Amino acid sequence: MILSMTGYGKSKAQFQDKNIGVEIKSLNGKSSDIRMRLPNNIKEKEILLRKQIIKSAIRGKFDFTLKIGTELGGEEYSLNKDLFKKYAKEILLLQSELGSVNGDILQAVMRIPNVVGSIEGELDEEEWKVIQKVTAEALEMLHHFRLQEGDVMRLDLQDRINVISQKLKEVEPMEESRIKSLKDRMHKNLGQFMNEENVDKNRFEQEVLFYLEKLDITEEKVRLAQHCEYFLNTLNNKNIEKGKKLGFISQEIGREINTLGAKAQQSDIQQIVVSMKDELEKIKEQLANII
C-alpha cells in the first residue's frame, strides 16, 4: 500500500443552530507542518486537533481550516460599543488638535480591529465532540484521496523498476564481446608502445587478468538485481510509512548503476546505464511525494 502526501478532505455537520465545517489539504514535506485556521474560542483545542491530524495523516504539509457559522450561512457579529465610543472620541479629539476637516469617522472606526467581531461564546463539550467527529471524517476523506493517488504512483514505480531490471538483463549478452574488446585494446596499445617480442607473455596475461578483474561487473549486476527486488518487496508490503526507506534503496540502486557505468568501458552498456539513470531519476521524483 502506498499513500501519497498530496490530498484533500472536507466534512461538515450541524450542531444546534451552528454549521461546523472542516477542510484539510496536504502537500509533500520532509516533516509534518500544520497551518491551522480556527475560531478564537477553539484555540484552546489546537494541540488536540494537531495530534488528531498527525495520528491519522502521519506526514506532510497540511492546511487545516475549521469554520463555525450560523444556519443563515455566516457568522454572527456584534459591535463593541464601548470600544467604538473610545476610538471615536480619541479620533475627534485628535482632529480638533490638528485642525483637520472631519472625515467619515464611522467608517474609520469600523475598520479598527476588535470593534466589530464574531460572536463566539465558550466551547461546550458537546460541540467539541462534533468538531472532533467532523475532523475525523475530513481526515478519512483525505486518506482515501491519498490512497487512490498512491496506487497510481505504486504502479508507475513498479513499472520503472521493472524497466531497470530488464535493462540489466540486456547487459548479460554483451559481456563476452566486452571482455574481447578490452583484451584487443590492451594488445593494440602494447603493439603501439612496446616491441611485443620483448614482452613476457605469461606476465602480460597475468596483467590482463588482473585488469579485467578490476573491471568485472558481476558483483554490481548481482547487487543491482537484489536492490530492485528489495525495492519491489518494500513497495508492495502492508506498511504505510515507506517513502524514506524506498529513498534509501533508490540511493543504493543509483550507486550500483554508476559503478556499472564506470567499469563498463563499452558504449552499448553505457547507453543502457544512461537509460537506467533516466528511470531512476523519475523514481526519485515520485518518492518525494510518498509518505
* pLDDT tens profile 95-136: 777 776 666 777 777 777 666 655 555 788 999 999 999 999
Q: How far apart are CA 138 and CA 93, in angstroms?
A: 52
Q: How far apart are CA 167 and CA 279, in angstroms?
A: 11
**37 and 66 in contact (C-beta within 8 Å)?**
yes
Thinking of the domain 149-287, which architecture would CATH place it in?
Answer: Up-down Bundle (1.20)
Q: How far, in Å, are 100, 216, 255 from residue 221 at the CA level?
A: 85, 10, 12
**287 and 250 in contact (C-beta within 8 Å)?**
yes
**265 and 215 in contact (C-beta within 8 Å)?**
yes
Q: How far apart are CA 270 and CA 42, in angstroms?
A: 61
Burial of 202 (0-12, 13-18, 19+ CB in 10 A): exposed
pLDDT of the residue at 3: 93
**7 and 26 in contact (C-beta within 8 Å)?**
yes
Pairing of strands 33-37, 77-79: unpaired
pLDDT of the residue at 204: 56
Beta partners for residue 62, in sequence order: 26, 34
What are the domain boundaries of the chain?
7-75+121-145, 77-117, 149-287
CATH 3.40.50 corresponds to the domain 7-75+121-145: no
pLDDT of the residue at 189: 58
pLDDT of the residue at 178: 67
**65 and 23 in contact (C-beta within 8 Å)?**
yes
pLDDT of the residue at 175: 74
C-alpha cell belonging to residue 82: 464601548
Residue numbers of the chain with a pLDDT score lower than 70: 71-80, 100-103, 113-121, 178-180, 182-214
